[in-house]
Amino acid sequence: MYFFEQHGMEEEESFQFQRLHSNSFPLHFHRAYEFITVEKGEMLITIEEVDYTLKEKEAVFIFPNQLHKLHTPKDSVCSVIIFSPEMIGHFYSTYKGFMPVNNKLILNSLPNEDELDFIYSQKSFLYSICAQFIKQTEVVPVEVSSKRKIIQNMLLFIDDHYATECTLKDVAKALQYDYAYLSKLFYQYTNLTFTHYVNRYRVSQAAYLLESTEDTVSDIAQKCGYKTLRTFNRNFKDYKKVSPSFYRENKKKTSK
């Protein structure tokens, strides 16, 4: 199973910097570029089925629509920069339709968050990374398969409509593809039925709201597309093994 994230979908300049501690993240992809640097410890990053073990001052430069996941075997501190292609417009237009042979990059220095608070500083840093990257690896022409584009559009539809009615029938109508074809294709790529995926996605969004807001469980259920609290409670417990209320209380205790 993998996720599509909307990073870079706004098609305007965007830049996000965050520092992660011993973080892991499942297989996903997005339109944005992503630059991950290990500051301490070790991290395993898989990009398009290639495993990269990163240690201090090592990084990966992930291109748009490359499938990737993060895993920390023990402990790690890493910085993650996610930015839209528009931030490096010349590089993006030059290498659009290309993918790197090797995503790994050895850095001259680690990124400093304090120096990346101004757009020109951000662009200067990003272009310096592009220059280092092109010197260290090769890029080759690659065309994203039409099937992956369909899956991307299906996942984007779910992200936009999970809070309301969201069925495979709706997707087939919106994308103008055969229902049976989309059903088979979706299962081939995610190992889940469309309905199963939507339920898991809704529960993951609900879990985030339980942790980050004071909204009632009932309100969260409605925001995540559930018409009845009973169905929400049952689905949440199926995936998280605990009730929504217990999940929230446990997260509050562990965060103290």
When the candidates are 3.40.30.10, 2.160.20.10, 3.50.50.60, 1.10.10.60, the CATH number that belongs to 146-255 is 1.10.10.60
Domain range list for the chain: 3-141, 146-255
Is 140 exposed, middle or buried, given 0-12, 13-18 or 19+ CB atoms closer than 10 A? exposed
> What helix, strand, coil percent values describe the chain, rounded to 5?
45, 25, 30
- Whole-angstrom Cα distance, residue 220 to residue 240? 16
pTM of structure: 0.70
What is the homologous superfamily of the domain 3-141 according to CATH?
Answer: Jelly Rolls (2.60.120.10)
- Whole-angstrom Cα distance, residue 145 to residue 247? 39
**pLDDT of the chain along its 256 residues, tens only?**
556 666 655 557 899 999 999 888 888 888 889 999 999 999 999 998 899 999 998 999 999 888 899 999 888 999 999 999 999 999 998 998 899 999 999 887 778 888 898 999 999 999 999 999 999 999 998 876 788 788 888 988 988 899 998 999 999 999 999 999 999 999 988 778 999 989 988 998 898 899 889 999 999 999 999 999 999 999 999 989 999 999 999 887 776 6
- Who's near 39: CB < 8 A, 6+ residues apart? 19, 56, 77, 78, 79, 110
